[in-house]
Amino acid sequence: MALGKNKVLGKGLANLIPGSDSNPTENNPKKEVRISEIQPNPFQPRKIFSSDSLQELSTTIQQHGIIQPLIVRISQNGGYTLVSGERRLRAAKLAGFHKVPVVVRDYSDSEILELAMIENLQREDLNPMEEALGYQAMMDKLSIKVSDVASKVGKNRSTVANLLRLLSLPHPIQVYIRDGKLSEGQARPLIGIVESKKQLDLANKIITEQWNVRTVEDYVSNLLHPEKKKQNATSKTKDPSILKIENKLRNKLSTKLEIQHSEKKGSGRISIVYNSLADLDRILENIGLKA
């Protein structure tokens, strides 16, 4: 089975796994197996599951049973390896079940990885770090590029690329993002700071003083480009329509830029900031160009 570029999020996991879930086929009938025989999915991108959410699902399973069977494959070491249904399996354990309904399918490692990512992105939002690690795992295991990952999961290339950039941050900051202490928007400007200690000190300051994204962006911009601090002070008098266009371009390109416009001449220039040649390549791809 190949998932292909046209099978993306929003079409339902059952459409991506023919003959699975609530529609077992004659060749892949539903059967019950012992939970102890099922090994966890080695490519599961989600590392943390909400205990409250699992308890709610466990209560539902106790009352109604498991409506959609889990998807497994036969393990080389005996028993089964989970492909899809991690939350249902955990909730069934909480509910005291010893057996669960499954459909056995023949999947390769790369297909399991794809399905694990797609199921999680469809059914329960990953935190930014888990999502980034999942995308990196897809690139490593499947030997594919950022654009291929974006196509498979139905996201914009820039969205995937920006999440992957978070992996360059020091581990303590990644933990802050994972735990919800820092948002992706608050953390992204820190990537431009070279020294890890400065990154971590600023991250703690952001959390302690509860800075919003714009405050973080302005602070880092002034830190990296002190010569522009004076220019930023004049932005308060800049035409609101120009400021609006600047913000749209910043969000689109995920980088610092400035529009300098002369009302008298009716012309001006756009200054785009990049931190490295790799960052420049990313910006060029975002505007449809290749270096």
Half-sphere exposure of 187 toward its Cβ, with a 13 Å CA cutoff?
27
- In angstroms, the CA 148 to CA 166 distance is 19
Set 32, 37, 56, 86: catalytic member: 86
Provide Rg for the chain, Cα atoms: 24
Q: How distant, in Å, are the alpha carbons of 119, 142, 216 from that of 17? A: 11, 19, 43
Catalytic residue list contains 111: no
Task: State the pTM of this model.
Answer: 0.57
CA distance 28 to 105: 7
Distance CA 170, CA 200 (A): 7
Using CA atoms of 279, 158, 271, 218 in order, give the dihedral in degrees to the nearest 10: -90
Reading the block at residue 111, the tokens are 């297909």
Angle between helices 146-153 and 109-123 (to 10 degrees): 60
Query: Bridge partners of 70?
Result: 102
Cβ-count burial of 197 within 10 angstroms (0-12 exposed, 13-18 middle, 19+ buried)? exposed
CB atoms closer than 10 angstroms to residue 150: 19
Could you read off the pLDDT tens digit of each residue along the chain, which spans 291 residues? 444 433 333 334 444 444 444 455 555 678 899 999 998 887 776 767 778 888 998 999 999 989 889 999 998 888 899 988 888 999 999 999 999 999 999 888 778 777 777 766 655 567 899 888 888 888 887 788 999 888 888 888 999 999 999 999 999 999 999 999 999 999 999 999 989 999 999 999 999 999 999 899 989 988 887 766 655 555 556 778 888 888 888 888 888 888 888 777 778 888 888 887 778 888 888 887 765
Domains, the chain, in order of start with CATH, read 13-157 (3.90.1530.10), 235-291 (no CATH)
User: Do residues 35 and 79 make contact, with C-beta atoms less than 8 angstroms apart?
Assistant: no
Residue reference for tokens 């069934």: 92
Reported as a single tens digit per residue, the pLDDT across 10-41 is: 334 444 444 444 455 555 678 899 999 998 88
Chain position carrying tokens 């399918």: 105
β-pairing verdict for 99-104 and 30-34: antiparallel
